[in-house]
Amino acid sequence: MLLISMSILRWWVLRVQYKITLLPEYMLGRFFQLTSLSIYLSKLATIDEQQFNNIYTHLIEDGFVYLTIDELQQLAELLLEILAIKFKVSERTLCEIYKKGVERQPQAYMAGAKDLEIFKSLQLTSFDPVKRCNVNLKGAKKDVYYNYIITTISFIETVLDGKVNVVKISDVPMLLKALFYSYIRGSEKREGKVRIDNISVALATSGAIISFIGRLKIGENLYEHFIVPDGSLASISNSVLFYNLVFRNTYDELLKLIQSFTNLEGVSLAKAFLMAVASQVTKIRDRDLDELLRNNVLERYLGIRISVSKRPDVLWMAPLTVTNLVNTGIKQEIIDVLSSLINITQRESKVAKDENLKSLASVVSLCVNNLTEYYFTNNQDALIECSRNAVAVSRSSEIDEKIKYLLNRLITKVRDLVR
């Protein structure tokens, strides 16, 4: 009798459903929630297409979906796996992910309703890095215990242990409620308060960490960059493949590439971002990449730039229009050569200042702008201008042979593209 009762209880527990509520569509946190959910749903799409379509339809049309504890646990396992891949941890443990992730998480904000208090209200603080990971936080501020990485790891652990405690809350961390779309800044400005629960918010904090590329300081300004699915069927169903390919062991490298392209004179931050992603994609040697390029899946993901100040401000959000930058071997070689030339000019400029380096840096900047112009407008004159300027510098007798070789490769490939 007892055995039957236990079986019934286990069946009941497994069938208990948790309502996952999406944040309003005008809040950035909604995209972070979709990021986390897409990690699970893209796996589900390969084994149960009907259930995938059912959950996806409810999410997009109703703004919420019900998941069982079993489904939540599968999601938590996949979140753990993608974070381990992103942070290149030696062991897939919560402690290892914390140690890498604590320095690679979005900023918390102290203006208005402080994020510290909001993170506390989520009641997802079971993970203590001091007790669990032998981490010394002596003298650190209290907010090190209440942030994106602690909340995310505590959520994963709580779900995997089957000890989910749903708590209703009325506010979310400031980054999650960052507003965008032009009408919000006008007469239809929306209120930042929401009615939601801690589990739904934890999915947003998890997604923020997964999609977070890093923080850049340019002059006196500080920016954070993210890549999120746009919510389309293609982006949600390909998410694991996308993040596995683009972020696998490349978190810090991608951030460095953005910084390198940004340092070029006359190259906008938006162009630098797209060129960095394109450069990263060219380094992927995987047949699955061909599938993403063939189906224009990359364009179904959004690049987002946040200005970090007292409050987060969404400055830029646009599709990753990089497929046309890398969809042929010739184009990939051009991106590779430009990346190599950028590395040389920036490395050498730290130890020497001469006119040849200035000329080379100028050519690289011009070619980046010329190439993006060509890819978006099909204007071949832009390619001709790049080639002409590269030829002029390559003919200098004082140019290093390695640089000359790279310039000649660039000239050849650009001319091939013109043909």
pTM of this structure: 0.89
> Considering only CA atoms, which of 418, 329, 334, 322 is closest in space to residue 378?
418
Strands 221-229 and 301-307: antiparallel
Across 146-163, average pLDDT: 92
What are the pLDDT digits (tens) for 106-146? 998 876 668 888 899 898 988 888 888 887 765 455 556 78
Asked if the model's pLDDT at residue 75 lies above 90, the reply is: yes
Residues 6+ apart with CB under 8 A from 270: 305, 316, 318
DSSP run (H or E) holding 221? strand 221-229
Asked if the model's pLDDT at residue 69 lies above 90, the reply is: yes
Q: Tell me how many degrees the CA angle 410-412-415 measures, rounded to the nearest 5.
A: 105
Task: Tell me which of 38-47, 94-103, 327-336, 347-356 is least confident.
Answer: 347-356
Spatial separation of the C-alpha atoms in residues 69 and 80, rounded to whole Å: 16
Spatial separation of the C-alpha atoms in residues 304 and 211, rounded to whole Å: 10
Q: Report the chain's mean pLDDT, rounded to a whole number.
A: 85
Asked if the model's pLDDT at residue 92 lies above 50, the reply is: yes
- pLDDT of res. 183: 37
CA dihedral 350, 225, 257, 298 (to 10 degrees): -170
Cα→Cα distances 404→2, 119, 225, Å: 81, 54, 34
- pLDDT of res. 12: 43
Across 77-100, average pLDDT: 89
- pLDDT of res. 256: 86
Asked if the model's pLDDT at residue 176 lies above 90, the reply is: yes
What are the pLDDT digits (tens) for 30-39? 999 999 999 9
What are the pLDDT digits (tens) for 335-393? 889 988 888 887 766 544 567 778 888 889 999 999 888 888 889 999 999 999 999 98
What are the pLDDT digits (tens) for 266-293? 889 999 999 988 888 887 767 777 788 8
- Rounded to 5 degrees, φ, ψ at 229 are -70, 150
* Three-state DSSP state, 43: helix
- pLDDT of res. 186: 46
Spatial separation of the C-alpha atoms in residues 285 and 378, rounded to whole Å: 27
Asked if the model's pLDDT at residue 252 lies above 80, the reply is: no
Spatial separation of the C-alpha atoms in residues 221 and 196, rounded to whole Å: 33
Eight-state DSSP code of residue 237: H
> Hey, where are the domains in the chain?
16-324, 328-418
Query: What is the percent of the chain with per-residue pLDDT over 70, rounded to a whole number?
Result: 87
Spatial separation of the C-alpha atoms in residues 288 and 245, rounded to whole Å: 8
Asked if the model's pLDDT at residue 198 lies above 90, the reply is: yes
